[in-house]
Structure 1
Amino acid sequence: MKVFVIDVARCNGCYGCQLVCKDEHVDNDWSPIAKPQPDMGHFWMKVSETVHGSVPKVNVAYFPRLCMHCDDPACLRHDDSGAVYKRADGLVIIDPAKAKGKKALTDVCPYGAIYWNDALEVPQKCTGCAHLVDEGELPRCVDACATEAIKFGEEEDFRDLIAQAEVIQPELGLKPRVYYLNLPKLFVAGVLYDPQVNEIIENAEITLTDLSSKTNWTTKSDDFGDFWFRRLDSGQYSLMIQADGYKSYEITAINLDKSVNIGAIPMEKLN
């Protein structure tokens, strides 16, 4: 069974995968697998960009998304006419002939991967470039990825990577066959300084606590007075800062629904 494995940390936002997907499918008829993709409005492979934090503590994450080629796809659950089928290799296909006029299929995918072609009156999505796979070639997005962020092949060959990976919205129970490594998480960051001498504070101990699980993480401020806690889940946190010669500094509640740059934190010297 085929799978995609996408390492988000390797994606540099070149949008090459998105562009070659358009090149492969716009004005090209790959029947019976897919009719031509329209010039505009469809992104069977789409790279989204998310900015985390605020200046100067900023991370930009690029996130390639496509049809998840689920083992138990919602589109297949919805249709019993044969308009949607799963191939023996795991790729999920919308038959362009049998699906003609079935606009309702565009609403059943919780990943938003199915588009409506007004001109052809047919729902369309990523096919995994099944027409190329059948010729022993890679999907265009995989072949074009300069950083090898997108991989495609047999599940068995990627077993080690899959063991480290995640799927999107596993709670849906659709069993996606697109696996992600290093999905962007949230962070808490800041910088410590002494306002009396206007100097940063190195080697302070900073402890972040998840108020729900009571899990603690500890780090030190670096040579620039900076500290980071990365790959956090959303939730409520507290922060405690301790530095030799300074009063402790505490933030009792941080509502982490997006990455937080606390900014410059002034530390008060002990008397």
Structure 2
Amino acid sequence: MKKVNMIVDVARCHDCNNCFLSCKDEHWDNDHLPIAAAQPRFGQKWRDVLYVERGQYPLQDVCSLSYACMHCDEPACKKAAKDGAVSKREDGIVIIDPVKAKGQKQIVDACPYKAIYWNEESELPQKCTMCAHLLDSGEWSQPRCSFACPTGSLTFLYATDSEMAEKTAAEGLEYFHPEYGTKPRVWYKNLYRFTQCHVAGSIELHDKKECADGAKVTLTNIASQQVWVAAANNYGDFKIDKLEPNSGAYAVTVEYPGYAAQTREFALHASVNVGTFYLNP
């Protein structure tokens, strides 16, 4: 059976917040019973955008990650709910019943992703519904958030589990926080830009005051002896990405024909700019 899936390409997100705004527009002050009661004006972000900045000036980068209920195949919220207040539809969407869930604040606490909010006035746990009321109407083929995304960061699709397994392998899709063990139906692409770190720097041919275009850069994890090799761009800058935070001591060596090589050692805790290498003949 084909089920709902959402693919979030982290590299395409520009933090415009169109997804958040469209969600708020659809659900604020609008009851969509029996799918969901109205979202309050303040305090809830059924679709949020997380933000991280990596590295230091002038070689830092920023990353934004669109984030909502993961519509897990093994939802912790469903296990915590009483009287069938949370259900998993055949199409994969997880729904919190706005009548049965009244007063069940434990549903909020059960979500490891912190994607469920408590409506104090209505005494209801609330979250993203994947705009199930629109999909069920037959007039919409996707939720408001993915429809509003101008960069293609959010892609909604119906696919079988085997089709998604093939797509995951082909495109390098990942779960956000797989350690939670809830088997989300939301997949992330280029997630390393949010969860991992980089080593960056610059190289100058000091005697010529020129950028060392094409200089060889070798990064070595001193403990494991794992090696990464890159080349400086035409500005003399380099970046080696997809490194694990707090992964120990590293050595970076830069080489350029006719110039003496230089090596620097450092401990990698988070993304770092190791500075400028001034090479001399």
Q: Classify the TM-score, shorter chain.
A: over 0.9
Tell me which residue corresponds to 2:90.
88
Match of 2:242 among 231, 236, 240: 231
Q: Deviations over 1:238-266 (max 9, x none)?
A: 212222333322223331x3211112222
Q: Which of 260, 264, 270 is matched with 2:276 structurally?
A: 264
Report the Cα offset of residue 160 of structure 1: 4.7
* Cα distance in structure 1, aligned partners of 2:47 and 2:125: 15
Supply the AA of the counterpart residue of 1:219. Answer: A
Q: CA RMSD in A?
A: 1.8
Q: Quick one: structure 1 residues 116 and 11, their matched pair in 2 at CA, closer, same or farther if it must change by over 3 Å?
A: same
Unaligned runs of 5+ in 2: none
Task: Specify whether residues 240 and 178 from structure 1 end up closer, same or farther in structure 2 by C-alpha distance, changes over 3 A only.
Answer: same
1:134 pairs with one of 128, 133, 136: 136
Kindly state the Cα deviation for residue 174 of structure 1 after the two structures are TM-superposed: 0.6
1:9 maps to what in 2?
11
Give the count of matched residue pairs.
268
Of the three residues 174, 191, 199, the one matched with 1:188 is 199
- Find the counterpart in structure 2 of residue 175 from structure 1: 183
User: What is aligned with 2:151?
Assistant: 147
Contact 1:5 1:162 (8 Å CA) reproduced: no
Identity of aligned residues (%): 42
Contact 1:74/1:108 (<8 A) preserved: yes
**Within 1, Cα distance between the matches of 2:84 and 2:149?**
33
Q: Is the 2:81–2:101 Cα contact (8 Å) retained in structure 1?
A: no
1:250 partnered with 2:263 = yes
Cα offsets for 1:152-198 (capped at 9, x unmatched): 12123655543220011112211011001111132111101244554
Show structure 1 runs of 5+ residues with no match.
none
Report if the CA contact (8 A) 2:81-2:104 is conserved: no
CA distance in 2: counterparts of 1:264 and 1:117, whole angstroms = 52
Deviation at 1:26, TM superposition (A): 0.2
- Per the alignment, in what secondary structure is the counterpart of residue 120 of structure 1? coil
Alignment match, 2:118? 116
**C-alpha distance in structure 1 between counterparts of 2:238 and 2:107, whole Å:** 47
Equivalent-residue separation in structure 2 for 1:89 and 1:167 (angstroms): 19
Verify the 8 A CA contact 2:81 2:106 in the aligned structure 1.
no
Letter in structure 2 aligned against 1:259: S
Task: State the one-letter code of the partner of 1:113.
Answer: A
In 1: Cα distance, 2:56 partner to 2:88 partner: 43
Listed as ranges, the matches of 1:192-203 within 5 Å are 192-203=203-214
Specify the SS of the correspondent of 1:77: helix
Distance 1:23 1:161 in 2: 32
Give the secondary-structure state (helix, strand or coil) at the position aligned to 1:111.
coil
Distance 1:211 1:127 in 2: 48
Separation in 1, partners of 2:34, 2:96: 9
Aligned-partner Cα distance in 2 for 1:151–1:227: 31
Q: C-alpha distance in 2, partners of 1:32/1:186?
A: 44
TM-score (norm 1): 0.92
Find out whether 1:98 has 2:100 as its counterpart.
yes
